[in-house]
Structure 1
Amino acid sequence: MTVNPYSPAGAARRVPQNYPVRLHKISAVMNNLYRLFYRPLTILLGVTIFAGHRAQAQSQTNDSSATAVQQQSMPLLEVHAGSDPLRDYRATAERITDLVDTRLDVRFDFAKRYLYGKEWVTLQPHFYPTDSLTLDAKGMDIHRVALLKNGRQVPLKYRYDSLQLHIQLDKTYTRDQRYTLYLDYTARPDELKMSGGSAAITSSKGLYFINPDGKDPYKPTEVWTQGESESSSVWFPTIDKPNQKTTEQITMTVPDEYTTLSNGMLISQKKNNDGTRTDTWKMKHPNSPYLFMMAAGPFSIVKDHWKNIPVNYYVEKAYAPYARAIFGHTPEMIGFYSDILGVPYQWSKYAQIVGRDYVSGAMENTTATLHGEFLYQTDRQMLDDDYRNESVIAHELFHHWFGDLVTTESWSNLTVNESFADFSEMLWAEHKYGQDLADQHSYEAMQDYFDFARSGKDHPLVNFYYADKEDVFDQVTYQKGGRVLNMLRNYVGKDAFFSALHQYLEQNKFKPAEAQQLRLAFEQVTGKDLSWFWNQWYYGEGYPKLDISYRYEDDLHLVRVIVRQTQSGRVFQLPFAIDIYAGGKKERHSVMMTERADTFTYHYRVRPDLVNVDGDKTLLTEKEDHKTVSNFVYQYHHAPLYLDRLEAIEGCAKAQSSSEAARQLLLDALKDKFEGLRSAAISHLDLKDETVRPAALPLLTNLALRDPKSSVRSDALQAITGDSATLSSHDELIQQALKDSSLRVESTALDAFSAYNPQQAYQWAKQHSREAEAPLTEVICAVLARYGDAADFPYVAMNFDRNGSFQKLAYTQPYLYMLAQVITATDTVKNGLDKTKDFAQELGPRYGAYVMSMLENFVTLKTRQADAAADDSQRTALREQAGYGQQAIAHLQKTLNK
């Protein structure tokens, strides 16, 4: 599972810090909306994403010698439940009965949004004899429950409470006896009363009908499923727990013009006399219920392969020409992951499909990954590729080893699924694009976790005390877990790391597993006792904060490296390298920190140019490193890693106003070999400083016009145009940028153009609106809404209507702004508010709050307009519209918070 990279939660994770015109934690256009709406009108969203910082106690420290550093086992960590009664211990689901085989035959009623299902499920007791069975079945109509016996159906007694089906069997069965039940049922997902979600998955309806009546001209009619975490039981009765495994066969009857996709292989197709077709998909390997998947709609299939395994891409016809460019690295990824793990891809096929209005980023349904529509891109949009989308593709594929092949036995242990998938994004970047991109991706993930931890929601990686299972789909399980694996790889070494992963996969394939089985595999391979690492990083909470200082004693030729842990609470055991650069050579010292403060002392002949703590830059930590400017300058030019250079850029940025060497380092970094660091240098330049600006502007102008990466061109242009007072002086540059091949650069240029010449920017937006693509359309809509009239509303409304999921957020504010300030026809306003309300409900409670805040702005603006109206009838109409907006807010407050 991947958080949508364009969602409020995903923006922080997926969008690099140098992404130009983006909503801060919301979407790619907040800067534009701020400039066009918020700054002139002082309208504020007022949505707080992270609140509160934990107070940090300054701990008393004492120095100790590191002449004989030795690994020490940390004490066993005791985890205690809190006082909150909701935070009970979350045990792994008891396996009373095991699923063996599941066969489904389903038909869809698009008008009612129903699924009519028949199921044949084979089960057997896990160990103890039992004469009863409980199946999860949420919000269904149960028509028949029967035992298949000697070729006939024997009705069974059952009790159904709308969530679970309690069945009395015909006798007591033992663990060596199997039985098969037949169930006839109707699934009604849209009538389900419980439809909450998580930061990763915004809804739990399980089965989704998209544009079922065909009335939306911008969307195809589709149906698809989303099983994680326990929503498959909305569309078929099952034991909906991740520690269950079953073979499966799914038969779907759909309109003949539709394409279907499910787990496993398509084994038969049959045309029916009523214009429908029946497809049967069969999965021969055991699969967990939450990984069951169906999809149907007017998809085109673009075929590919890895060795003799089909690798196919299911997309809308308009995107078929781009499918290989979007997904084209998938076969190479399969080969790469198969090789490094020593476990070849185990499944019969790999398909990827893009669904409209998807409720998350992507989902690793076994052999049939479902992606959100953000993955759709044209050739021009892909010019701005920044690894976000490709990292999602890598993430879901890696789940086919960690999550699908070996599945978490409980949601508490979700780290054995999601932490690996998160880590795989770094692995693929490292392999395909180099160490710098991999390290940047990892560093940004770590910062995302730190933001989450500061919110007060931190918890152990293996979390036995959550309030709701959806809560574990967060930055601890994903981003922190990925960084923990990166530390583990560094500590045991790459060969041992991948050998241990091979061992874990081979020992547990097609089975559920937990974090302790991962530890045992690592101990078997390395011969090391790693309980200290698991207790600290898997079962403990938090992360270390390091204060690093240096004391040079030239008379004794000694340097003392003083490392203090400043976090409150427990002390971490930290293995890391200290690299000493002196006389043109690097000398490495591997150490293990075990105290609140440790001093590591080294002898030198020539005073070191640099002492570099955490030489491999893998520690999950926040650091305050007291290097000098000269140290940072040396570090940038001689230490090789992305974080080495980034730390130098950040260190020199603090001294740029007073140090010529620091300023020069920032200017040098504008020419860094890696685009991410060129952008970092741009973002750290203080262009208000008159000692910085004259030297930086020519370099920035050159980057804005000529850098090979559109992200850097855009960032440079944004830096140059950041001062509103001087915008018009850069008109020539902005006009050139408006002709850039990159949509991203054009968006930044139009944003700047509108700030000093709104009328010409408006005309440019009108002229280019027809052929524009996102993200340029987002800025065009903002410009048209701010400076246009009612004739421009259809374009803004069209973009709001035709975009789904989180992409629609980028168009919601200009859409509501026009409804508030430009549109006065009550029917049009009410219709627009209804659409906005429906969108907020689709997003769910976590993200619907953003839309509610925008609706509050609408009410404020419409009320002001009503108060200023001279005509009584107009004033009445405007107040009615404001009242309708208030009703929408009240409705959302009630429905989203239920």
Structure 2
Amino acid sequence: MKKVFQIFVFIAMLILAIPLNSQTWSNSEFYSYENDPAFQPRQQDVDILQVKCEAFIDGPKNYIDGKATLSFRTFYHPTDSLQIRVANLNLKEVKIDGKVKEYRLQNGEAIIYTNEKLEYNTEHKLEIVYDAHPNGGLHFTGWGEDEKYKREQIWAHSLQNWCPYSNIKHDLCTTEMIITFDKDYKVFANGLLQSKKDNGDGTNTWHYKLDKPHVVYLHCLMIGDFGVKNFKTDRGLDLQYLFFKDMPERFDVCYKYSKEMFDVFEEETGINYPWGIYRNMPAADYLFGGMECTTSTLFGGYMYVDERAWWMRNYVNVNAHELAHQWFGNYVSNINKEIWLAESFPTYYAKIFEKSVFGEEYYQWVRDQEFDLTFEDARKNNYPVAHSRGGRGRYYMKGSLVLDMMRDYLGEDGYKAAIKHYLTENAHKVVAYDDFLRAVREATGQSMEWFFEQWIRRGGEPHYKIDYRPITMENKAYTLVNVAQIHKINNLTSYFKMPIEIEVHYKDGTKTSQKPWIDGANTEVMIQNEDNKEIAFILFDPNRHIVKKMTFDRSIDELAAQAEKSENMIDKLDAIRAMKKLSLEKKIDAFYDAYPTNEYHLFRGEIIKQIVSDEEYSKNAKAVTLIKNAIKSGDELTVRSVVSSIDYIPKTIKREYETILQDSCYRNVELALDDLCRSFPKSRNKYLKATKNEIGWQGRNIRV
């Protein structure tokens, strides 16, 4: 013991004798990350190579009688059992390589015993004969006596509750579906139709096959009495789009811009659509937006709308989002923890497509909604984008905004090169965070660890406090802008480092700008004012590129100038929003001058909402003029800002308000009718007569 103690003392003295580099030690950083319960993917005992399902389905009886064949390969260790998801299935027989096997059921899974150890890297076939009355998973609508008013459909966007499968979400396999059903209906599944056979007994058997691997949760089935239109993209890809036979006139409205999406995404990614066919299938009683099953998207039938319902819930964004999944999530898949890799990209590319057809201001509108949802989640917790509990606001919205910032930083060519390399190198593979980071580095030469670290791996967003003052140095005039980061700093969120543009706008209409790196607690930026001009306003991060909060106290004159003179709609909007707490009397002149400078509904709608929030607005002539102007604008969403904000209509705008009953948008008519009847009950019969031929959107909501 004494000898051990002497050795310890000697080592301690030796360490103390070594001269330390104090700078190296003081600058050492220890990174902490939010604990993630899904950090480790679920272990696989076998690799499922193919799922083949042969099934007879009876709609009226809510019944399936099937046989599933799962081809699999063993991993590195000898395998003596398999774990297969069979929830709600009645198993009749289980075989491996033609031999009957014993099994036990546990928590919706079948533990199947091989009776002999299956050696490493050998291939086998598991056969399960079963039947079921599925309770969810495979959805039967319109078949029961109490559902005759619904469309007769059967649909599934996973194998749950109707076909045995391995519940490893990152497992890749091919698919084969052989489905027998009533011959009066059509059947669709993943991949290409191999054959359709008339069985002579009132049924047809449909055989579909997808011979490229994809993740197990993206299997689908759709059965119904659909109309079908087959056409091709400019590159010759087969498209198959389903529609409701009783509403053929809605086809072009619902699927508007569909072909153009392929051109945009193939150009953006540098990768042609990676599958042999693409389908769109509207599902009855579908409670979601859409599901990106490989080659075949299911979407909510409530989006199969006519022209007048377009601005309530059209299919363009969901259509583009689910199509983008065919590259991101399907072609390149992700481990379960990295949900953002599956959702951020489709959210981003749907927005990019909408920008290509609707323009910059629409794109900024979508981004504005992404900002709102990002910070809504930030008020609840501080999870990162890459965390399995990050939530929708981060997987979808913040992740999309982060890709915007990455594109800004890398530039068009660099960003596109990185995306193409990422997709090419990881085709039909399962990836994680590091795979995307490596692809960016390999394609661009840029080491983006700093970017990924603060925006994806760690939580939080920067909160910048801005102030400025004119100064003179060596007989030269400058504007000194101070940027402080005032968000909470802890072991999970640090100061952010980003290049951010600052523009100084002068009263003569000119401007100067710089794009410095903002880093640390405080950053001072000096922008030369060569002719010592008078400042009108300053923009920090013009056109709102950075995900951030901002505190920037400005006078009403500065805000008014920004609202009227800014080049970008979103900068005008930010100025109007900054006036929210001011009285109408103080800001109405600024509103009146700014309103004509931009026609986009997001900007004008914010002005209208702030006007109407003042109880005395009807007494202000300029306020009334702006409301009348909005009603007469002819823009559905600008009119919506009026009818969504007003409950009781002042007589000063009654005549204009009545014209909304002939608006092209169902929702505007509905809200205007409600407001008019509430505000002028003696004229109720007049308003009901004016809308007697209106039915409305979902639920006959004008007629009822």
**TM-score w.r.t. length of structure 1:** 0.70
Gaps of 5+ in 2: 1-26
Provide the C-alpha distance between the structure 2 equivalents of 1:567 and 1:95, rounded to a whole number of angstroms: 42
What is the 5 A alignment of 1:99-248? 99-148=48-97, 153-169=98-114, 171-190=116-135, 205-213=136-144, 215-227=146-158, 232-248=159-175
Q: Structure 1 residue 427: deviation in Å?
A: 0.6
CA gap 1:399/1:617 in 2 versus in 1, 3 angstroms: same
CA gap 1:141/1:766 in 2 versus in 1, 3 angstroms: farther
Q: Deviations over 1:92-146 (max 9, x none)?
A: 1223311111111122233442322211111102333323322122221111111
CA gap 1:744/1:367 in 2 versus in 1, 3 angstroms: same
Mapped contact 1:263–1:367 kept (Cα < 8 A): yes
More strand by share: 2
- Read off the aligned partner of 1:437 and give its amino acid letter: Y
Q: Structure 1 residue 322: deviation in Å?
A: 1.3
Q: Deviations over 1:357-405 (max 9, x none)?
A: 11311100111101112212123323xx267531111111111111111
Alignment correspondent of 1:546: 464
Mapped contact 2:324–2:345 kept (Cα < 8 A): yes
Report the 3-state secondary structure (helix = DSSP H, G, I; strand = E; otherwise coil) of the residue aligned with 1:632.
helix
What is the 5 A alignment of 1:653-802? 653-655=580-582, 657=584, 659=586, 663-670=589-596, 672-685=598-611, 688-689=615-616, 693-705=620-632, 707-717=633-643, 721-722=646-647, 724=648, 727-758=650-681, 760-761=683-684, 764-765=687-688, 768=691, 771-774=694-697, 777-781=700-704
What is the 5 A alignment of 1:432-831? 432-454=357-379, 456-464=380-388, 466=389, 473-553=391-471, 557-569=477-489, 570-575=493-498, 576-582=500-506, 584-605=509-530, 606-607=532-533, 608-655=535-582, 657=584, 659=586, 663-670=589-596, 672-685=598-611, 688-689=615-616, 693-705=620-632, 707-717=633-643, 721-722=646-647, 724=648, 727-758=650-681, 760-761=683-684, 764-765=687-688, 768=691, 771-774=694-697, 777-781=700-704
Q: Structure 1 residue 437: deviation in Å?
A: 0.7
Q: Deviations over 1:621-667 (max 9, x none)?
A: 1212223333334433443323211112223454464547x623444
Q: Percent identity among equivalent residues?
A: 21
Report the 3-state secondary structure (helix = DSSP H, G, I; strand = E; otherwise coil) of the residue aligned with 1:715.
helix
Q: Structure 1 residue 76: deviation in Å?
A: 5.9
Mapped contact 1:577–1:616 kept (Cα < 8 A): no
Provide the C-alpha distance between the structure 2 equivalents of 1:419 and 1:222, rounded to a whole number of angstroms: 31
- Read off the aligned partner of 2:349 and give its amino acid letter: S
Q: Structure 1 residue 700: deviation in Å?
A: 2.1
Report the 3-state secondary structure (helix = DSSP H, G, I; strand = E; otherwise coil) of the residue aligned with 2:701.
helix
CA gap 1:703/1:116 in 2 versus in 1, 3 angstroms: same
Q: Deviations over 1:826-872 (max 9, x none)?
A: xxxxxxxxxxxxxxxxxxxxxxxxxxxxxxxxxxxxxxxxxxxxxxx
Provide the C-alpha distance between the structure 2 equivalents of 1:215 and 1:657, rounded to a whole number of angstroms: 55
Alignment correspondent of 2:33: 79
Report the 3-state secondary structure (helix = DSSP H, G, I; strand = E; otherwise coil) of the residue aligned with 2:538.
strand
Larger CA Rg, structure 1 vs 2: 2
Report the 3-state secondary structure (helix = DSSP H, G, I; strand = E; otherwise coil) of the residue aligned with 1:712.
helix
Q: Deviations over 1:255-285 (max 9, x none)?
A: 1111111111111111122211111111121
Q: Structure 1 residue 741: deviation in Å?
A: 2.9
CA gap 1:767/1:434 in 2 versus in 1, 3 angstroms: closer
Q: Deviations over 1:279-333 (max 9, x none)?
A: 1111121111110000101111123321322222212212222112211311110
Provide the C-alpha distance between the structure 1 equivalents of 2:33 and 2:134, rounded to a whole number of angstroms: 38
> Which 10-residue stretch deviates more, 328-337 or 597-606?
597-606
- Read off the aligned partner of 1:778 and give its amino acid letter: N
> Which 10-residue stretch deviates more, 162-171 or 396-405?
162-171
Q: Structure 1 residue 766: deviation in Å?
A: 7.4
Please tell me the root mean square deviation across aligned C-alpha atoms, in Å.
2.6
Provide the C-alpha distance between the structure 2 equivalents of 1:549 and 1:666, rounded to a whole number of angstroms: 27
- Read off the aligned partner of 1:103 and give its amino acid letter: K
Report the 3-state secondary structure (helix = DSSP H, G, I; strand = E; otherwise coil) of the residue aligned with 1:253.
strand
Q: Structure 1 residue 696: deviation in Å?
A: 2.6
- Read off the aligned partner of 2:345 and give its amino acid letter: F
- Read off the aligned partner of 1:568 and give its amino acid letter: K
CA gap 1:127/1:432 in 2 versus in 1, 3 angstroms: farther
CA gap 1:671/1:388 in 2 versus in 1, 3 angstroms: farther
Q: Structure 1 residue 760: deviation in Å?
A: 4.1
Alignment correspondent of 2:3: none
Q: Deviations over 1:497-543 (max 9, x none)?
A: 12111111011111111121111111112222222222222221121
CA gap 1:123/1:513 in 2 versus in 1, 3 angstroms: same
> Which 10-residue stretch deviates more, 644-653 or 250-259?
644-653
Provide the C-alpha distance between the structure 1 equivalents of 2:258 and 2:63, rounded to a whole number of angstroms: 35
- Read off the aligned partner of 2:383 and give its amino acid letter: H
**TM-score w.r.t. length of structure 2:** 0.89
Alignment correspondent of 1:308: 236
CA gap 1:175/1:758 in 2 versus in 1, 3 angstroms: farther
Q: Deviations over 1:434-475 (max 9, x none)?
A: 111101101111102212221x244121225x4xxxxx5522
- Read off the aligned partner of 2:275 and give its amino acid letter: W
CA gap 1:109/1:76 in 2 versus in 1, 3 angstroms: farther
> Which 10-residue stretch deviates more, 472-481 or 283-292?
472-481
Question: Of 284, 307, 317, which residue of structure 1 is paired with 2:211?
Answer: 284
Alignment correspondent of 2:296: 368
Provide the C-alpha distance between the structure 2 equivalents of 1:477 and 1:376, rounded to a whole number of angstroms: 27
CA gap 1:117/1:572 in 2 versus in 1, 3 angstroms: farther
Q: Deviations over 1:413-446 (max 9, x none)?
A: 0000111111122211221111111011011111
Q: Structure 1 residue 770: deviation in Å?
A: 6.0
Provide the C-alpha distance between the structure 2 equivalents of 1:376 and 1:547, rounded to a whole number of angstroms: 46
CA gap 1:718/1:537 in 2 versus in 1, 3 angstroms: closer
CA gap 1:628/1:767 in 2 versus in 1, 3 angstroms: closer
Gaps of 5+ in 1: 1-72, 82-86, 191-204, 467-471, 782-898
Q: Structure 1 residue 573: deviation in Å?
A: 1.8
CA gap 1:326/1:598 in 2 versus in 1, 3 angstroms: same
CA gap 1:458/1:211 in 2 versus in 1, 3 angstroms: farther
CA gap 1:702/1:77 in 2 versus in 1, 3 angstroms: same
Whether 1:298 aligns to 2:225 is yes
Q: Structure 1 residue 217: deviation in Å?
A: 3.7
Mapped contact 1:710–1:744 kept (Cα < 8 A): no
Report the 3-state secondary structure (helix = DSSP H, G, I; strand = E; otherwise coil) of the residue aligned with 2:179.
strand
Mapped contact 2:142–2:149 kept (Cα < 8 A): no
Q: Which structure exhibits the higher relative contact order, with contacts defined as CA atoms closer than 8 Å and separated by 6 or more residues?
A: 1
Report the 3-state secondary structure (helix = DSSP H, G, I; strand = E; otherwise coil) of the residue aligned with 1:542.
coil
Mapped contact 1:133–1:167 kept (Cα < 8 A): yes
Report the 3-state secondary structure (helix = DSSP H, G, I; strand = E; otherwise coil) of the residue aligned with 1:286.
strand
